[in-house]
Amino acid sequence: MRGDSIAFVARPFFMTSPKEISVVVPVKNEAENIQPLIEEICAALQGKVDFEIVYVDDGSDDATPQKLRDMQAKLDNLTIVTHKESCGQSTAVRTGVKHASGRVIATLDGDGQNDPADIPALYDELVKDDAQDMLLMAGWRAKRHDSAFKLWQSRNANKIRAGLLGDDTPDTGCGLKVFTRAAFLDLPYFNHMHRFLPALMIRRGGRVQSVKVNHRARERGVSKYGMWNRLWVGIVDIMGVMWLQSRGKVPVIVPQDKA
């Protein structure tokens, strides 16, 4: 990510202490989905865990910036980070994680198709594990509400990716994932990395646990992604991740005997 890609960071005036969980949402031109999704996130987590919401506006040219400012005026736990220009979803996610204060990160797509009500269950599974920094909780959209063509291309892409990378993840494209901030920042960064988090976590010596989550039809706005703008970069990225896997070595730490 270029050093000048951040236009500004708007933090709530009264938010002074780190939170337990940060919900990171990358968006581009999702004005119609801003308020409904933020309200759902708050409803899902309020009273259950100390949380913040971090929105990364990836160069929107619609009313998204104003909608975010309107919501921040009502909330004391919403941070807005704005890219000067679009840098892509992976960079937006990484920007959000870097600006988050939470020990645990939950990521959501900004189109409203992921259900924030699923976050608590994934969070609970993560925090009860003794090796939280080595675990990725991955949402699995077992019953997807997408077009037949989109389902076909996703199903085949998952088969090819899983066969080549051995990540044993049925739905790596689901935007709903929960992990620790430390684990994410320890992964190698490259464009489109968000599609390969399971493989990257396994390469690090960690584990991936897939959990069935709700998936909803898009009600507002239009999809920013299609088959052809993902196909060729996906092939190149898979080859790159395979190269990383072949070069990676996971150190086994020997515990020291107490004197």
Residue 211 inside a domain? The answer is: yes
From residue 226, how far is each of 93, 150, 205, 223, 232 by CA, in Å? Answer: 20, 9, 33, 8, 12
- Whether the per-residue pLDDT at 249 is higher than 80: the answer is no
Nearest partner of 240 among 174, 183, 180, 164, judged by Cα: 164
- Report the range of poorest mean pLDDT among 156-160, 178-182, 236-240, 242-246: 156-160
- Do the beta carbons of residue 138 and residue 157 sit within 8 Å? no
pLDDT at 7: 63
pLDDT score at 95: 97
Count: domains in the chain: 1
Q: Assess contact for 126 and 135: CB atoms under 8 A.
A: yes
Type of residue found at 85: E
Q: What is the pLDDT of residues 81-121, one digit of tens each?
A: 999 999 999 999 999 999 999 999 999 999 999 999 999 99
Q: Looking at the domain assignment, is residue 257 inside a domain?
A: no
Of 11 and 165, more confident: 165
Q: Does 253 reside within a domain?
A: no
Q: Which residue range forms the structural domain that includes residue 74?
A: 6-246
Q: Examine residue 1 and state whether it is found in any structural domain, yes or no.
A: no
Beta strand 78-83 with 51-58 is: parallel
Residue 146 placed within a domain: yes
Q: Please give the torsion angle defined by the CA atoms of residues 209, 81, 94 and 14, in that order, rounded to the nearest 10 degrees.
A: -60
* Residue 144 is assigned to a structural domain of this protein: yes
pLDDT value, residue 122? 97
pLDDT band at 197 (very low <50, low <70, confident <90, very high): very high
The CATH number for 78's domain is: 3.90.550.10
